Structure 1
């Protein structure tokens, strides 16, 4: 059983979960859910960046990108 009507979910679609938490967690819960959403978004972006960091290198080594993308930095663990 939820505390938001379907019309309210549509109206607050960007932050409906935070609005739903507000009646029993108050303003602090609203802010907590908002902060958790921001951290979750930042985490997803970070994971995407780390996951694709060597993608250009790997594709260039397979010959599908120009050879200029296949070089590594002379410093260990730092990619060009």
Structure 2
């Protein structure tokens, strides 16, 4: 399992515990915060690029790929913002 997926699952468990017992989730290590802070703008750039393809692209295959990328990246941005 990749480190990023492990991080998301672990933080999801902490968030779930928070909802149950009302206690705060543990503070996230600086390296993880830096990762998220760098990845969110990176993902937003991918969403913007996919949007340009969706507006101007002609190939149905590339447009479909751009839509899939846009959807996936937007979902990951949301996950990162939630755990941040």
Category of TM-score, reference length = shorter chain = 0.3 to 0.5
- Greater RCO structure (CA 8 Å; 6+ sep): 2
Q: Normalising by structure 1, what TM-score?
A: 0.37
